[in-house]
Chains A and B, each alone.
Chain A
Amino acid sequence: MRRFKVFKVFKSLAIDSLDTITKGSKKYHIWMGFLTLVMLIGMYCYSIQLDKGLSVTGMSDRVSWGLYISNFTFLVGVAAAAVMLVMPTYILKDIDFKQAVLIGEGLAVSALIMCLAFVVADMGGPSVLWHMLPGIGVFNFPNSMLTWDVIVLNGYLLLNISIPFYILFRRYQGKIPNPKIYVPGAILSVFWAVAIHLVTAFLYQGLQARPFWNNALLGPRFLASAFAAGPALIILVLAIIRSFTSFKIPDKTIKKIALIVTVAAQINLIMLISELFKEFYAPTHHSESAYYLFFGLHGKDALLPWIWTAIPLNVIATIMLTFGKLRNNLKVLYFCCFILFVAIWIEKGFGLIVPGFIPGPYGKIVEYLPTGIEIGVTIGIWAMGAFIFTILAKTAIGIETGVLKYKAKHT
């Protein structure tokens, strides 16, 4: 009898959430229509890539990873950052974060789906991806860090779907979620989040062929930059949700998240200084990638505008955030979060992946510039992430604010 009820509730939840996500204000419809259009453009670009091969991208034998892997790396960090909200809410019982945490986890889910999409977009043979499935294919575990990454990313995705789903499912029925069920999952996801980002760093860090990546600081720096960029994005998203929905998020919550962003950004800056010192105080052959990134090598300087946008933005944001007076002014805070997000996106994407390949193993410098098709696919995947997040957030907010209720329909 009880089992049937669960299905019935689930069915009703599915119908109700479908109802919520298809109805909304005019602005909401324009937003979703816009995302759909961008997604369609992205799919068209991807179909060209499938047909012609990866030659339609800017990548080559010399720079064999580009925009896709850059975005993948960055988004793993965004996904990992959800933990910064999970930990205080579920484990330290910090009530301020309760409203933000579901949003954070929704962000993690959409970031992870984007990560997987970017990896698939980067594959030369997406039709034989089943070779990677353990059991059916051959899974080179534990030797290949990429297999570790597949495991941790999918595990984290599962965790971040199941915990919020359980909580929302209970709330939907007007019941209080049982902490004994979700707290162990939340604790696990805290460790897991650190793992996904560390493993992703190890993916690069473990390559003796690329001295730019092969340094011990890469993993910790990944974590620091992720815990700055991820919560910064959460603040921006919360700000948007606050102004467009009836979901109440107190200033206190946003200010607490801002504190996290500040500390992480400061640590990130210290690590950046440490890296720069190592590369430029006593430069060796292994510093050439850093030289290329910051100053250009032999007249090749395609990355200079990017990195010299990122560094000042990063420094300005960190300094502004450090002063409590500026940080507590929400308008300034949003601005800081935005520029910090952009700065870290550049630094961790373009600024990290591309110079790893330049100069090549024998010093050859071939530059990389993404093509229109590559950019189209990338923007399409970002639109997909935003689309998924909007759906998840709208349902979650509906349940949290009590608009969506199981009993409501039957009374």
Chain B
Amino acid sequence: MSENKKWYSLDLGLSKNKKTSSSCGCGKTSGGCNNHGTKNTQPTEMSSEDFFEAAIDASIGDERHRDGFEQVFDVKMDRRTAFKKLTASLLIGAGAVSTSCSSFAGDDTKEKAQIDWEEQFKGNYKLMTNEEKQGTINRLMRSYELRTGKNISMTAENAEEDVLFGYAFNISKCQGYMDCVSACVEENNQDRNSQMQYIRIHEMKDGEGFKFDNADDNYYHEVPAEGHFYMGTQCFHCDNPPCVEVCPVQATWKEDDGLVVIDYDWCVGCRYCMAACPYDGRRFNWSKPQVPENEVNKNQHYLGNRMRKKGVMEKCTFCVQRSRKGKNPACVDACPTGARIFGNLLDPNSTIRWVLENKKVFRLKEDLGTEPKFWYFMD
């Protein structure tokens, strides 16, 4: 990126790669090589190790690239401990349920109170160690079990090295079916009462261009409607997110893989981030969110789709509970037209990189300097 630029520019992680590679595509060792980012093929050389990894753990996606045995080892250890602790807590939980059915109901109440106390006075997730993160998700799982008698699985995977998530939206393909919206609502346990939706599909008239003020983002008719085209917006996971800057308590931040996330338990509900977001990407829980018990998605991530409480912010996390396991966000998988493309911007072989390099892409409100990681393109 140019040195004399006064505003913020999206760095496609080239500086990150520099740590592991001695030189990048353009041959320079410092700065000024953003334009040559596509020529950097360093991460692909690790494909043999990826292969090895994939064989051990099928749940890890093929979009992940790691370098060095150390990192692979670390991740595996994390997962193993997580699994162990998960099992242990489930066993304890099952035991507790069976005993509590008899005359010792007081123990449950006591444990519930203990969990509530610890949850009320825990710290900011952003600053937690891995053990503390594990501790809080164990408490949350146990708490859910004590309250509903059902088990959920919650994880706390951290961002991986050399991953920067990005998203592209094909305006030519979208037909406005809104399957992405309903998939998102189901996946992310959004409040059904207020019909909260992270994604908005804007129906625009052909021949008028991108006229958002004349667009309808709340239509109930058959699609595709004659003479209209469709365009989806959601949280763009800006690389320079204004919402993160303004949060008085750092309850929202940008993770190393580019996801802008919220610690729902740390948020004080001032809604300053909402005022700061130029993309209508944030939602607030004006009441206690309601999800029917049988519709709750039980595969949860602390920063993602776990149950929220009233008075806190939430937003699209690119389905952190899926994307960090190597899967696509629910909206991408649900889209019947293939208009949605998601992937690792640092992986030269990813579809998203192909789109960025071969299509005429653009982003919304680029003049604000927010550097969204969400691009639009047309066939």
Q: CB within 8 Å of B: which residues of A?
A: 52-55, 57, 59-61, 64-65, 119, 122-125, 127-129, 131-132, 137-140, 143-147, 150, 203-204, 206-210, 288, 356-357, 359-364
Contact = CB atoms under 8 A, between A and B. Distances in A.
Contacts of B233: 362
Contacts of A204: 275
Interface in B244-303: 245-251, 265-272, 274-280, 282-288
A321 B370 CA distance: 46
A145 B286 CA distance: 24
Contact of B368 (A55, A119, A127, A208): A208
Given A124-B312, A145-B246, A362-B212, 19 more contacts: A53-B287, A53-B310, A54-B287, A59-B286, A60-B286, A61-B286, A64-B271, A64-B274, A65-B271, A123-B268, A125-B309, A127-B120, A128-B268, A131-B251, A146-B248, A209-B275, A209-B278, A362-B233, A364-B217
Given A131-B266, A144-B247, A125 B312 contact: yes
Interface in B309-328: 309-313
B194 interface: yes
Nearest to B200: A362
Interface secondary structure of B, over-half rule: loop
A140 B253 CA distance: 11
B217 A362 contact: yes
Given A139-B249, A208-B369, A124 B280 contact: no
A126 B235 CA distance: 26
Nearest to B194: A55
A357 B288 CA distance: 24
Contact of A357 (B124, B248, B249, B275): B275
Contacts of A53: 285-288, 310-311
Contacts of B287: 52-55
A362 B280 contact: yes
Contact of B275 (A64, A119, A124, A364): A64
B127 interface: yes
Contacts of B200: 362
Contacts of A128: 120, 265-268
A123 B277 CA distance: 18
B202 interface: yes
A59 B270 CA distance: 13
B195 to A, nearest CB: 11
Given A125-B312, A131-B251, A207-B276, A146 B270 contact: yes
Contact of A361 (B211, B248, B270, B277): B277
B90 interface: no
A131 B370 CA distance: 27
B269 A209 contact: no
Contacts of B152: none
B278 A124 contact: no
B268 A122 contact: no
Contacts of A363: 211-215
Nearest to B193: A55
Contacts of A119: 270
Interface centre among B200, B233, B311 (most CB of A within 10 A): B311
B269 A125 contact: yes
A150 B270 CA distance: 13
A132 B272 CA distance: 14
A357 B276 CA distance: 10
Nearest to A146: B248
A293 to B, nearest CB: 16
Nearest to A206: B246
Given A147-B248, A362-B217, A209 B277 contact: yes
Contacts of B127: 138
Nearest to B213: A363
Interface string B93-130: 00000000000000000000000000010001011000
B270 A143 contact: no
Contacts of B126: 138
B242 interface: yes
Contacts of A208: 242, 278, 368-370
Closest CB pairs A-B (n = 4):
A124-B269, A124-B311, A363-B213, A209-B278
Contacts of A140: 247-250
Nearest to B246: A144
27 contacts: A53-B310, A53-B311, A54-B310, A54-B311, A55-B194, A64-B275, A123-B311, A124-B271, A124-B285, A124-B310, A124-B312, A124-B313, A138-B126, A138-B266, A140-B250, A144-B245, A144-B246, A147-B248, A208-B369, A208-B370, A209-B275, A209-B278, A209-B368, A356-B275, A361-B279, A362-B215, A363-B212
Given A53-B310, A363-B212, A139 B248 contact: yes
A147 B268 CA distance: 13
B280 A361 contact: yes
Nearest to A285: B213
B248 A132 contact: yes
